[in-house]
Amino acid sequence: MPTNQEVAAILGIDEASVEKFRQETHRLQDGAWLVQFAYWMPLTGSFTLTITLPPDPHDRRERE
């Protein structure tokens, strides 16, 4: 699972914000991570981040 530090670096926000707003993290069938965030301020909202790892150069399986 991606750490809060890794997610913060991808989004360009601080690690404390990731800790505060991160709700769920799920592993997808293709190996990517789905990270869900939600926030409650004057407006309520949410967003989802998908983190896809670079392909392994030694993996010879065909990609879809």
Q: pLDDT (tens digit, 9 = 90+) per residue, 27-53? A: 998 888 999 999 877 777 888 888 887
37 domain-assigned:
yes
Give the list of residues 6+ apart from residue 55 with CB closer than 8 angstroms, or none: 63
58 domain-assigned:
no
Percentage of residues in the chain having pLDDT higher than 70: 91
Number of domains in the chain: 1
CB-based burial, 23-62: b 16+ in 10 Å, e otherwise? eeeeeeeeeebebebeeeeeeeeeeebebeeeeeeeeeee
Confidence of residue 54 (pLDDT cuts 50, 70, 90): confident
The answer to whether 1 and 33 are in contact (CB under 8 A) is yes
56 domain-assigned:
no
Domain span including residue 16? 4-51
39 domain-assigned:
yes
62 domain-assigned:
no
pTM: 0.69
pLDDT at res. 64: 59
16 domain-assigned:
yes
Average pLDDT value for residue range 21-27: 92
End-to-end CA distance of the chain: 23
